[in-house]
Amino acid sequence: MHVALRNLSGDPIKVDGKDVMPEVNKVLAQIEKFTNEVLSGKRTGVTGKKIKNIVAIGIGGSYLGPEYLATAMGSYAKEGMNLRFVANVDATDFAEKTADLNPEETMVVIISKTFTTAETMQNAKTARQWLLDGLNNHADAIKKHMIAVSTAEELVRDFGIDTANMFGFWDWVGGRYSATSAVGAVPLSLYVGFENFRKVLEGAHWMDDHFRTAPLEQNIPVLSALIDIWNINFLGHQTRALLPYAQGLAKLPAHTQQVEMESNGKQVLINGQDVDFETGEVVFGEPGTNGQHSFYQLIHQGTQVIPADFIGFVRPQYELGADTAETVSHHRELMTNFLAQPDALAFGSSNSVRAKNFPGNRPSSSMLLNELTPFTAGLLLAWTEHRAAVKGFVWGINSFDQFGVELGKVLGKDHRGRMLQFNTDGTINTKGLNASTATLLTSILKGQLPG
C-alpha cells in the first residue's frame, strides 16, 4: 500500500474500504507548511536563531531510505542547511554528529513508526537532554527544537513532544517501504525543500505507474526480479552486487540491503509450508569506481559468480574537469569504467599466464539514466521496492513481515534486565546463559577482559 504515499494520479486508493488519499494529502500539506516556515526563518529556535541543522534520529526503515535520498540530493540542499542522521545506539554516532552543532540552530526529528525501538528511544532521550542543556532548560526548548514522525501519537505526547509538531503515517506503511511517507518527507523537505521532495514522489509514482501498466516483457521491476530469480534459483548465484557509478547513490546499496534482505530472508511460505528452494539474496555494493579497487577482483576471478547491477548517468551532478583532445572530465572518466566493467565480466580475456586468465561469462545488467535528480532518485527507490516485492510474490513468501529481527530484540531485553540488576545491586547474573555469553557479559559489566 505504500504506493498510496506518492499516488499523484488523483484516483482514490482504498485500505479496508476507506480511501486513504485525503489523509495522505493532509499530512503532505502539513509537512509543506511546517518545512516552509522553518526554511523561510518564520519558525525559529527559542533564541530567535534560524534553524540550519537537522538531526534525524531513527534506525532501519526509519533511516536508510531517507539517508539514501538525502545523499542522492546533496546537490539540491538549501543554502546553509545540514542534515545528519543518527541511527546507532553507540554513543559515538550521536556524539560525533552533534559535536559541532549549536542547539540554538538545530532541530531534532525523532523518526519511529512504533516510537518504542530501543536504539531510537535512547538516542531521543540523549537528544532531549542535549537540547535542554544547550538551551538553558528553556521552557520551549523541546517544543521548538524537537519534532516527531510516528504512528504512535500517545507515545510521542508522553515523550514530551508537542503533537502539533508530529507528522503521522499509518500501520499500512511497512518500515522499509516508508521513505516516501513523512519518514522521508520531513527530514528531506527540511534539507532540500518540499518542492524537491515532491519530485521524489513524482519519480516514485512514475515507476509505480510503469510497474502497474507496462507489459511484463518491458516492465523494469518485473524484469529485474525475474533476472534475480533466474540467477538465484536456476544458476545458484545467491549474492548480488549493486554498483552505482554515481557518488550520490553511495547509500543505495545499504538501503537495498534492508529492502531485499529484511523482506525476502524467509524460509516459510505464506501458506505456512517450508520453502524447498532458495529465497532472498545477499546484496552488497559500493559506488564505482571505489569498489573496483576493493572487491571487484573476487567478482572477476573468484570462484563464486556474483551477478552485478551497474547504474550510470548520462550527465553528472557536478561538472568538473573538461572534455578536450587531451583530457576527459571527471564524469567521462567515471563512465569509462561504467562501460568497461560489464564487458570485462562478460567476455573476460584469455592469457597464457593462468593467474592472469579472466574466465568471463559473469552476468550483469546496466541501467543508464539521464541524471541523478530528485525525480530519478525516487524512481530508483520505487524500482528497488517493487523488485523485492515481485520476488516475494513469485516465491509465495511474505515480503512485508520480519519476525527474525524480533528474536534479537527479545534477547537484548533479557540482557538489559541483567544490566539493570547489576546497576541496582552489583550482581552479575549469568543464570541461563551459555558459557561464552556469560564470559562476555561478565567482562562488559566488570569493564575488563578476563585474565
Active site residues: 262, 293, 409
Closest CA to 179 of 66, 59, 32: 66
**In this complex, which beta carbon is closest to ligand F6P, that of residue 118 or of residue 449?**
118
Asked if residue 26 lies in contact with residue 57, where contact means CB atoms within 8 angstroms, the answer is: no
Asked if residue 408 lies in contact with residue 434, where contact means CB atoms within 8 angstroms, the answer is: no
Taking the complex as a whole, the smallest distance from the CB of residue 151 to ligand F6P amounts, in Å, to: 8
**In this complex, which beta carbon is closest to ligand F6P, that of residue 176 or of residue 205?**
176
Query: Of the ranges 14-22, 107-115, 335-343, 435-443, which one interacts with ligand F6P (CB under 6 A)?
Result: 107-115
Closest CA to 182 of 67, 77, 66, 68: 66
Q: Does 266 participate in binding ligand F6P (rule CB under 6 A)?
A: no
Interface residues for ligand F6P in 30-69 (CB under 6 A)?
59-62
Taking the complex as a whole, the smallest distance from the CB of residue 209 to ligand F6P amounts, in Å, to: 26
Q: How many whole angstroms separate alpha carbon 331 and alpha carbon 316?
A: 6
Taking the complex as a whole, the smallest distance from the CB of residue 51 to ligand F6P amounts, in Å, to: 24
**In this complex, which beta carbon is closest to ligand F6P, that of residue 7 or of residue 117?**
117
Q: Which residues contact 48 (CB under 8 A, 6 or more apart)?
A: none
Q: How many whole angstroms separate alpha carbon 362 and alpha carbon 337?
A: 17
DSSP per-residue string spanning 401-429: --HHHHHHHHHHHHHHHHHHHHHHH----
Q: Number of residues interacting with ligand F6P: please give it, by CB under 6 A.
A: 14
Q: Give the SS3 label for residue 85.
A: strand
**In this complex, which beta carbon is closest to ligand F6P, that of residue 236 or of residue 404?**
404
> All 3 cell numbers of residue 438?
556469560
Interface residues for ligand F6P in 112-131 (CB under 6 A)?
112-114, 117, 120
> All 3 cell numbers of residue 325?
583532445
Query: Of the ranges 106-114, 189-197, 270-278, 412-420, which one interacts with ligand F6P (CB under 6 A)?
Result: 106-114
Taking the complex as a whole, the smallest distance from the CB of residue 444 to ligand F6P amounts, in Å, to: 23
Among 6, 97, 176, 205, binds ligand F6P (CB under 6 A): 176
Amino acid identity, position 94? F
Interface residues for ligand F6P in 389-408 (CB under 6 A)?
402, 405
> Which residues, in sequence order, are bridge partners of residue 18?
15
User: Containing H/E element for 378?
Assistant: helix 374-395
**In this complex, which beta carbon is closest to ligand F6P, that of residue 60 or of residue 287?**
60
Q: How many whole angstroms separate alpha carbon 321 and alpha carbon 327?
A: 8
Taking the complex as a whole, the smallest distance from the CB of residue 441 to ligand F6P amounts, in Å, to: 23
β-pairing, 18-19 vs 14-15, is: antiparallel
Interface residues for ligand F6P in 234-263 (CB under 6 A)?
262
> All 3 cell numbers of residue 337?
569504467
Cis peptide before 213 (omega within 30 of 0): no
**In this complex, which beta carbon is closest to ligand F6P, that of residue 171 or of residue 425?**
171
Q: Which residues contact 358 (CB under 8 A, 6 or more apart)?
A: 300, 301, 344, 348, 349, 350, 351
Taking the complex as a whole, the smallest distance from the CB of residue 265 to ligand F6P amounts, in Å, to: 12
Q: Applying CB under 6 A, which residues contact ligand F6P?
A: 59-62, 112-114, 117, 120, 175-176, 262, 402, 405
